[in-house]
């Protein structure tokens, strides 16, 4: 039930004419537009194609809803249209995709993407110079650390995530077992997001929490075999293991190896971070029993109030549940819609100003992200509660913070 | 038994290296047959590995054809069956594409057709990966079997069952291939065609057919390796890339043109990869492979078992 | 040396000007970006071509230089506030040094081994850079002094810079092709041992090639970093980056000046266009189409588009005539007949083993100045091994070699050639698309200080062997006899005192044979000592003054032809024991 949108011949033809006109540097005069265009640049082919396709599904659903409800009211009901481009498998392709979209669609007012933080970096170099406001879920520090004015990070920063994840996990542990963990092990890959997450922890964050780092292993993905990794965990005997893995295949190897070494199912308390730990494909591959009770923090996950929207998504796409990718893309479209309404014009600079001034606590946009939708001058969100999801009966559900939870969390204990 | 931590780690890494190396060894044999017989650098080898993975997957978890065999035997049989399927695909590919840029017809042209081979196998790789995306989808999959998370315990050392199985299968297959090449007529024909194709023609050996057999056998065996790996890890259509380097390192290490060499080379690569974590940061696992690879190539370019031949 | 250099320089200028105009007409930032990428990949491909296209040493690892250049610029700007205007030339230096460091050990390998070793370098670097923490580096935006940091608002500036690099690469490649640098590389590609034996210091030239190649690749990588603004280990050290220059050059025409450019101009926009048009329609189809396209094209034009076009047009044009004036009077070093009949080449107790096999066993041999000396023996007797030891390709296990009184052992083949020994090889491989003269000129470099002199010497050698009227013929159209003569001319081009002929007469019919024999005699009459290997008695008997007979690595007989023919041991060696007994009476 995937909605694949093939360009019609008319669109193709007019697209060509427009492209040709663009090529010669002519700008069309758009007074009161019939449609407003926003962009999505995400990997649609290549090793990360799955992620991009999920994002597209979420965005498409939002666009349909927005238009059904009357489009952009401030622009006399103009329809919102999504133009997607494939970021492919390299930063060069991602940059080209961004440049192409911008050149062929001079009337773009906003965009979202590009999933992989290096792609997001490359794409935003283009969008910044074109003054196109760009929303992203990527949370490596560098993205909003360049002094750019047109990049907006919907995820809390890595540092913030690190600050929030551990104390909550420790609290849960203490509440359930009566003991507060004293030593910690970290297993992570060396991609940008986990590195940003772990950095503040290693630089004093752990000490502040009274945790001693006894196992600290960083590997280059993709992992070939997790045996030496888990062996080190076994000999290090931490009270607690933090998993910062950004790819599903690595998750599978690590979780299964923990099981093999009889460290799973509560024997070694485990907290993860990142949405790859909540994907349906993970469950398909390793089975629900290994995942039961697995707790992970994530920047965004469907929470209380989203149930109906999630049902619609499931019916529409056939996916068993909604993950961060679809949800944030959905939310990004609504944020853009709100911004365009407030800007009152299909003008990207005005839309960017509107995003900077925005403060949403209700509505579909606010319901897609935890915490209020508000961006500081660096494009970062503040005061974002960290969501924890937990696998319960084969589905990862939000369990923390209590006001957003759809189920109660429990601490996995040794049987 | 309580061993000092370093010893326990050492033994565990050693065991992991050998068992992981088993699958690598099998892939390397596949590549080694092709390179030894045809002197072709096949960039698409990793993608035939990927095909083997998917064949095994569809036979078990995917369409459940072999589910009557249960979750233990099923994946193993599926891996074996992946061989003939990939063999057949390889046959067709060679017949219509690869044969045009390899073998006798091209030996006379400049560079002995080397240019054509590289481009053709690179193009083939692109087609298989991207075609795979279209046909098989982007979602990473894997075979679900308890083998991948169970182990046989020898003291403190845990031997992952799925890995041990692939190791044993690899050993069995290398013996079979070795006997095939040494004892059977077809096998001897392959070796003759490899050594001197012009002479082989005069001896009545159909060199083109020999090459086709070598190619198909090579990709088929690598397909079996893929089928075995499918039980241990998840994969998507672009995974072949990750293994191409491992395969080449293993084949060169063992000695280009030697089947036994390819086996030991693959095994050694697995061991270097896993045991390097004892002394180096985990992140440099694969760099260790390259360093060893380069050292071998400098100190003993013919590899462990190969021969250097230079005609002036 | 192929088509006139001046004409090609004009072609380069024309291309540069055209691209410049195109870049100004294009207003879309997207097309400008694609144009810049076309140019940058073309530069990388040209850089690759300098090493691999010309010399045949296929590198699968040029991403190493590209990536080092990119990181030089990126890290330079981030950590040291170094402007790319300086960073890119620095990238050239880094690339060149990397070429030297990588080339030094790796050139000991040949063929597939070399290519695969090169594959390892950039991938090893990839993991190291990730480990070092350089997963993602971005070039900071400089809002105050953008121009100082190569940050232009107008994308066309980047295209112009890339064009400048391309022009430089083309000019340098042209220079290389038209000089002995290029000829040396081509000789190496065609037959490296022969090149060595002809006096070319293959080591030096290969090192120079890889350093030059690395420098250009580094510069292009540096500019790439500036254009992309984001550098990740995967994007600059990855396999795809190493494969790209290869694909472009092979597609466009390997070993030619324009091949890489053609490849870049066709394939880069094709790939990008496919991504753009089909990428979101049916993800993955662009890769399939691209793969099919390159397979189809390469099946149609196996050596690349450029060569296919050349062949097509060459048939239409008559073969170019190189001015063949009267045999130029070239100052030749006086034939040292001073010690007429004196010992020129002396081998004493020469021995060498391969594993358990004793290939040469205590061989004593004396070749007299001005003589025509034949070495015969059945197959496997060790004749070519003997030549290889004399030439310096093999180091003897025991014994000594002296030439004109000086020791020869331990010298590298090109040094041996410099001393005055020339050599032909059994397998004569010519450059099929080049003229006879160009094929021969390689042999003259060792003695000629400059290219013009080398030309004259080559012409003289060609005249000497009687191929004067075929000097401008494309070698692909020569007969076997003419090919052999060409080989001989190359060996003679350096005006050696001694020339080693390896089975020059093999497989020739009686007419051809007679022609070659007279040439060889003529050469000897002009003062060059000839040492010739053959295993057929018949021709040799008419030719030589003296024989040495080898069997199983040992010298079993030496002397005048009429003595040797009757020698029991010789007959036994050729025909076997049983024959001897039966025909003993007949021979006696």
Q: Which residues of A touch B150 (CB under 8 A)?
A: 260
Whether B34 is in a domain gets the answer: yes
CA-to-CA distance for B80 and B224, rounded, in angstroms? 6
Express each pLDDT in C447-505 by its tens digit: 777 888 888 888 988 888 888 888 888 877 888 888 888 888 888 888 889 999 988 88
Q: Does residue C56 sit at the B interface (CB-CB below 8 Å)?
A: yes
Residue of C nearest to A49 (CA): C283
Q: Which residues of C touch B290 (CB under 8 A)?
A: 120-121, 123-124, 127
Q: Are residues A168 and A285 in the same domain?
A: yes
Q: What is the pLDDT of residue C319?
A: 47
Half-sphere exposure of C377 (CA within 13 A, CB side): 24
Q: Which residues of B touch C109 (CB under 8 A)?
A: 297-298, 301
Express each pLDDT in C276-327 by its tens digit: 888 777 888 888 998 998 888 888 887 888 888 888 887 655 544 444 444 3
Q: Are residues A246 and A330 in the same domain?
A: no
Interface contact C30-A100, CB threshold 8 A: yes
DSSP A45-93: SSTTHHHHHHHHHHHHHHHHHHHHTTSBGGGTSBEEEEEEEE-TTSHHH
Whether B221 is in a domain gets the answer: yes
Q: Residue C108: which pLDDT band, with cuts at 50, 70 and 90?
A: confident
Instruction: With both helix axes pointing from N to C terminus, report the angle between C29-48 and C156-177 in degrees, rounded to the nearest 10.
Output: 20
Q: Are residues A249 and A359 in the same domain?
A: no
The residue that leads in pLDDT, C585 or C428, is C428
Whether B190 is in a domain gets the answer: yes
Q: How far is A192 from chain B (nearest CA, A)?
A: 14
Q: What is the pLDDT of residue C380?
A: 76
Express each pLDDT in A76-112 by its tens digit: 889 999 999 999 889 999 999 999 999 999 999 999 9
Q: How far is C228 from chain A (nearest CA, A)?
A: 7
Domain limits for position A39: 9-20+33-156+304-366
CA-to-CA distance for B251 and A402, rounded, in angstroms? 57
Q: What is the pLDDT of residue B114?
A: 66
User: Which CATH number do you get for residue A344?
Assistant: 3.40.50.2300
Q: Are residues A313 and A328 in the same domain?
A: yes
Q: Are residues A291 and A317 in the same domain?
A: no
Express each pLDDT in B188-201 by its tens digit: 777 777 666 667 77
Express each pLDDT in A221-232 by its tens digit: 889 999 999 999
Confidence check: pLDDT of B121 > 50: yes
Express each pLDDT in B233-265 by its tens digit: 899 998 988 888 888 889 888 887 788 888 999
Q: A25, A86, A221: best mutation site toward chain C, by most C Cβ within 10 Å?
A: A86
Whether A63 is in a domain gets the answer: yes
pLDDT above 90: percentage of residues in chain A: 62
Q: Which residues of C touch A23 (CB under 8 A)?
A: 26-28, 31
Q: What is the pTM of this model?
A: 0.87
Express each pLDDT in A256-278 by its tens digit: 999 999 888 878 888 999 899 99
Confidence check: pLDDT of B107 > 80: no
Q: Residue B154: which pLDDT band, with cuts at 50, 70 and 90?
A: confident
Give residues 293 to 312 of C whose Cβ lies within 8 Å of B. 293-295, 298-299, 302-304
Express each pLDDT in C199-218 by its tens digit: 888 999 999 999 999 999 99
Whether B2 is in a domain gets the answer: no
Whether A382 is in a domain gets the answer: no
Q: Residue C84: which pLDDT band, with cuts at 50, 70 and 90?
A: very high
Torsion of the alpha carbons at C79, C83, C86 and C89, rounded to the nearest 10: 80
Confidence check: pLDDT of A379 > 50: yes
CA-to-CA distance for A73 and A59, rounded, in angstroms? 19
Domain count, chain A: 2
Whether B269 is in a domain gets the answer: no
Express each pLDDT in B64-95 by its tens digit: 787 788 888 888 889 999 999 999 999 999 99
Q: What is the pLDDT of residue C547?
A: 85
Confidence check: pLDDT of A73 > 80: yes
Say which range, A62-71, C523-532, C573-582, has the weakest mean pLDDT.
C573-582
Q: Which of C127, C282, C299 sits opposite B284 (nearest CB)?
A: C127
Q: Which residues of B touch C106 (CB under 8 A)?
A: 298
Give residues 135 to 194 of C whose Cβ lies within 8 Å of A. 135-136, 138, 140-141, 153
Q: What is the pLDDT of residue C322?
A: 45
Q: Are residues A123 and A269 in the same domain?
A: no
Interface contact C235-A191, CB threshold 8 A: no
Q: How far is A2 from chain C (nearest CA, A)?
A: 13
Q: Does residue A91 sit at the C interface (CB-CB below 8 Å)?
A: yes
The most confident of the ranges A165-169, A333-337, C140-144, C403-407 is A333-337
The residue that leads in pLDDT, C426 or A225, is A225
CA-to-CA distance for B291 and B286, rounded, in angstroms? 9
Give the pair of three-digit tokens for residue A171: 């609290």
DSSP C503-514: STTTT--HHHHH
Nearest to A295 by CA among A315, A324, A271: A271
Residue of B nearest to C195 (CA): B312
Q: What is the pLDDT of residue C576?
A: 67
| Structure ipTM | 0.88
Interface contact A46-B277, CB threshold 8 A: no
CA-to-CA distance for C262 and C42, rounded, in angstroms? 8
Q: Are residues A135 and A162 in the same domain?
A: no
Q: Does residue B131 sit at the A interface (CB-CB below 8 Å)?
A: no
Chains in contact with A via at least 3 Cβ–Cβ pairs below 8 Å = B, C
Q: How far is A353 from chain C (nearest CA, A)?
A: 20
- Read off the pLDDT of each residue in C144-160 and give the average, rounded to a whole number: 88
Confidence check: pLDDT of C427 > 80: no
Q: Are residues A145 and A194 in the same domain?
A: no
Q: Residue ranges of the domains in chain C?
A: 5-239, 343-587
- Read off the pLDDT of each residue in A340-355 and give the average, rounded to a whole number: 94
Q: Are residues A292 and A342 in the same domain?
A: no
Give residues 266 to 285 of C whose Cβ lies within 8 Å of A. 272, 275-276, 279-281, 283-284
Q: How far is B69 from chain C (nearest CA, A)?
A: 35
- Is the distance from CB of A175 to CB of A153 less than 8 angstroms? no
Nearest to A261 by CA among B151, C251, B86: B151
The residue that leads in pLDDT, C563 or A187, is A187
- Cross-strand bridge partners of residue A151: A134
Total CB pairs under 8 A between chain A and C: 108
Q: Which residues of C touch A93 (CB under 8 A)?
A: 275
Give residues 162 to 181 of B whose Cβ lies within 8 Å of A. 163
Express each pLDDT in C4-13 by its tens digit: 678 888 889 9
Domain limits for position B133: 12-240
Q: What is the pLDDT of residue B97?
A: 86
C343-587: what fold?
Rossmann fold (3.40.50)
Q: Are residues A73 and A147 in the same domain?
A: yes
Q: Does residue C288 sit at the B interface (CB-CB below 8 Å)?
A: yes
The residue that leads in pLDDT, B113 or A153, is A153
Interface contact C303-B129, CB threshold 8 A: no
Nearest to A112 by CA among A157, A62, A65: A62
Residue C164, C-beta contacts closer than 8 angstroms, at least 6 positions apart: none
Domain count, chain B: 1
Residue of C nearest to B43 (CA): C243
Q: What is the pLDDT of residue C1?
A: 40
Element (H, E) at B41: none
Whether B48 is in a domain gets the answer: yes
Q: Are residues A104 and A127 in the same domain?
A: yes
Residue of B nearest to C384 (CA): B312
Nearest to A169 by CA among A154, A155, A181: A181
Instruction: Tell how strand A35-42 and strand A79-86 pair up.
Output: parallel
Q: What is the pLDDT of residue A58?
A: 96
Q: What is the pLDDT of residue B52?
A: 96
Confidence check: pLDDT of A146 > 50: yes
Q: Which residues of B touch C112 (CB under 8 A)?
A: 35, 39, 41, 256
- Read off the pLDDT of each residue in B147-154 and give the average, rounded to a whole number: 88
Interface contact A286-B20, CB threshold 8 A: no
Q: Which residues of C touch B241 (CB under 8 A)?
A: 239
- Going from the C-alpha of C361 to that of each of A389, C364, C548, the distances in angstroms are 81, 9, 14
Q: What is the pLDDT of residue A31?
A: 55
- Read off the pLDDT of each residue in A157-168 and give the average, rounded to a whole number: 88
């Amino acid at each position: 039930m995937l909605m694949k949108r093939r360009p019609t011949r008319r669109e193709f033809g007019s697209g060509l004419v427009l492209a040709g006109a663009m090529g010669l540097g002519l700008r069309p005069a758009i007074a009161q537009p019939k449609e407003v265009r926003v962009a999505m640049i995400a990997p649609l082919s290549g090793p990360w194609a799955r992620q991009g396709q999920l994002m597209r599904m979420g965005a498409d659903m939002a666009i349909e809803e927005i238009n059904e409800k009357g489009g952009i009211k401030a622009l006399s009901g103009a329809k919102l249209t999504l133009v997607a481009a494939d970021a492919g498998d390299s930063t060069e392709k991602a940059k080209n995709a961004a440049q192409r979209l911008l050149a062929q669609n001079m009337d773009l007012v906003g965009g979202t993407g590009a999933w992989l933080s290096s792609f997001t970096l490359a794409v935003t170099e283009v969008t910044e110079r074109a003054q196109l406001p760009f929303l992203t879920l990527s949370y490596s520090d560098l993205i909003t650390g360049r002094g750019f004015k047109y990049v907006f990070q919907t995820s809390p920063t890595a540092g913030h995530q690190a600050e929030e994840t551990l104390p909550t996990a420790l609290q849960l542990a203490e509440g359930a077992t009566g003991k507060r963990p004293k030593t910690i092990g970290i297993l992570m890959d060396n991609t940008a997001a986990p590195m940003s997450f772990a950095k503040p922890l290693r630089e004093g964050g752990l000490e502040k929490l009274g945790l001693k780092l006894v196992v600290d292993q960083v590997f280059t993905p993709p992992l070939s075999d997790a045996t030496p990794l888990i062996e080190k965990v076994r000999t290090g005997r931490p009270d607690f293991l933090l998993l910062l893995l950004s790819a599903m295949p690595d998750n599978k190897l690590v979780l299964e190896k923990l099981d093999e070494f009889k460290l799973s199912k509560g024997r070694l308390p485990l907290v993860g971070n990142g949405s790859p730990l909540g994907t349906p494909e993970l469950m398909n591959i390793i089975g629900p029993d290994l995942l039961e009770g697995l707790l992970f923090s994530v920047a965004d996950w469907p929470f209380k109030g989203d149930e109906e929207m999630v049902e619609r998504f499931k019916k529409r796409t056939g996916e068993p549940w909604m993950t961060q990718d679809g949800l944030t893309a959905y939310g990004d479209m609504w944020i853009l819609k709100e911004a365009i309404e407030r800007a009152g014009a299909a003008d990207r600079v005005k839309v960017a100003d509107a995003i900077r001034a925005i403060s949403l606590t209700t509505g579909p946009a606010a319901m897609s992200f935890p915490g209020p939708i508000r961006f500081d001058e660096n494009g970062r969100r503040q005061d974002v509660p960290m969501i924890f999801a937990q696998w319960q009966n084969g589905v990862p559900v939000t369990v923390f913070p209590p006001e957003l939870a759809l189920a109660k969390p429990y601490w996995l204990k040794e049987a | 038994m309580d061993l000092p931590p370093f010893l326990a780690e050492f033994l565990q890494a050693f065991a992991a290296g050998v068992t992981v190396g088993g699958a690598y060894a099998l892939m390397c044999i596949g590549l080694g047959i092709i390179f030894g017989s045809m002197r072709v650098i096949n960039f698409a080898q990793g993608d035939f590995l990927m095909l083997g993975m998917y064949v095994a997957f569809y036979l078990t978890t995917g369409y459940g054809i072999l589910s009557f065999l249960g979750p233990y035997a099923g994946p193993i049989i599926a891996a074996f069956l992946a061989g003939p399927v990939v063999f057949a695909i390889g046959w067709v590919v060679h017949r219509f594409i690869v044969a045009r840029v390899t073998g006798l017809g091209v030996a006379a042209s400049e560079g002995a057709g080397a240019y054509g081979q590289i481009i053709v196998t690179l193009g083939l790789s692109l087609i298989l990966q991207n075609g795979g995306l279209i046909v098989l989808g982007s979602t990473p999959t894997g075979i679900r079997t308890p083998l991948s998370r169970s182990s046989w315990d020898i003291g403190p050392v845990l031997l992952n069952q799925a890995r041990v199985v692939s190791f044993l299968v690899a050993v069995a297959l290398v013996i079979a291939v070795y006997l095939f090449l040494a004892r059977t007529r077809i096998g001897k024909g392959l070796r003759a065609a490899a050594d001197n194709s012009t002479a082989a023609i005069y001896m009545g050996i159909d060199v083109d057919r020999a090459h086709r057999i070598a190619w198909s056998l090579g990709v088929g065996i690598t397909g079996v390796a893929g089928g075995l790996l499918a039980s241990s890890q998840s994969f998507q259509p672009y995974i072949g890339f990750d293994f191409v380097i491992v395969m080449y390192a293993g084949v060169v290490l063992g000695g280009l043109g030697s089947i036994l060499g390819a086996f030991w080379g693959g095994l050694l690569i697995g061991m270097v990869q896993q045991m390097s974590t004892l002394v180096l940061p985990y992140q440099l696992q694969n760099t260790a492979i390259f360093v060893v690879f380069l050292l071998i190539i400098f100190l003993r370019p013919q590899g462990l078992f190969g021969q250097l031949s230079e005609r002036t | 040396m192929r088509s006139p250099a001046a004409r090609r320089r004009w072609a380069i200028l024309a291309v540069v000007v055209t691209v410049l105009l195109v870049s100004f007409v294009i207003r879309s930032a997207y097309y400008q970006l694609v144009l810049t990428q076309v140019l940058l990949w073309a530069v990388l491909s040209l850089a690759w071509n300098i090493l691999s296209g010309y010399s045949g040493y296929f590198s699968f690892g040029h991403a190493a230089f590209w990536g080092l250049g990119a990181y030089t610029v990126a890290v330079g700007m981030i950590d040291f506030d170094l402007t790319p205007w300086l960073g890119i030339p620095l990238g050239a230096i880094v690339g060149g040094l990397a070429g030297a460091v990588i080339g030094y050990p790796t050139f000991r390998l040949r063929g597939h081994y070399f290519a695969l070793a090169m594959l390892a370098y950039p991938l090893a670097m990839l993991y190291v850079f990730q480990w070092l923490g350089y997963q993602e580096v971005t070039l900071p935006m400089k809002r105050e002094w953008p121009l100082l940091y190569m940050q232009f608002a107008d994308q066309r500036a980047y295209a112009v810079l890339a064009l400048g690099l391309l022009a430089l690469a083309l000019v340098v490649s042209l220079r290389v092709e038209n000089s002995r640098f290029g000829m040396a590389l081509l000789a190496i590609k065609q037959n490296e041992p022969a090149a060595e034996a002809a006096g070319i210091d293959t080591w030096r030239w290969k090192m120079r090639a890889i350093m030059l190649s690395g420098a250009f690749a580094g510069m292009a990588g540096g500019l790439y970093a500036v254009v992309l603004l984001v550098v990740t280990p995967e994007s600059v050290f990855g396999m795809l980056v190493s494969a790209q220059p290869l694909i472009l050059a092979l597609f466009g025409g390997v070993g030619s000046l324009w091949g890489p450019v053609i490849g870049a101009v066709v394939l880069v926009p094709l790939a990008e266009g496919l991504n753009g048009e089909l990428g979101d329609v049916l993800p993955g189809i662009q890769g399939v189409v691209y793969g099919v396209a390159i397979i189809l094209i390469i099946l149609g034009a196996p050596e690349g588009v450029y060569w296919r076009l050349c062949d097509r047009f060459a048939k239409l044009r008559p073969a170019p005539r190189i001015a063949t004036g009267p045999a130029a009077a070239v100052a030749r070093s006086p034939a040292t007949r001073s010690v007429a009949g004196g010992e020129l080449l002396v081998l004493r107790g020469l021995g060498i083993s391969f594993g358990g096999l004793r290939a040469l066993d205590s061989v004593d041999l004396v070749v007299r100045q001005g003589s025509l000396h034949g070495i015969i023996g059945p197959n496997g007797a060790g004749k070519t091994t003997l030549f290889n030891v004399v030439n310096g390709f093999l180091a003897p296990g025991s014994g000594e070699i002296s030439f004109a009184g000086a020791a020869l052992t331990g010298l590298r083949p090109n040094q041996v050639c410099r001393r005055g020994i020339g050599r032909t090889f059994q397998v004569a491989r010519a450059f099929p698309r080049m003229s006879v003269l160009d094929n021969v000129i390689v042999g003259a470099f060792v003695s000629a200080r400059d290219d013009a002199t080398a030309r004259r010497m080559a012409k003289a050698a060609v005249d000497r062997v009687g191929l004067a009227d075929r000097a401008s013929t494309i070698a692909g159209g020569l007969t076997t006899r003419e090919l052999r003569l060409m080989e001989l001319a190359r060996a003679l081009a350096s005006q050696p005192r001694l020339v080693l002929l390896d089975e020059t007469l093999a497989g020739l019919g009686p007419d051809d044979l007679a022609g070659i024999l007279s040439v060889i005699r003529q050469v000897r009459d002009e003062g060059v000592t000839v040492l010739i290997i053959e295993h057929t008695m018949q021709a040799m008997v008419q030719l030589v003054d003296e024989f040495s007979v080898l069997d199983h690595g040992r010298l079993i007989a030496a002397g005048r032809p009429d003595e040797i023919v009757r020698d029991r041991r010789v007959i036994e060696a050729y025909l076997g024991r049983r024959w001897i007994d039966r025909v003993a009476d007949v021979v006696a």
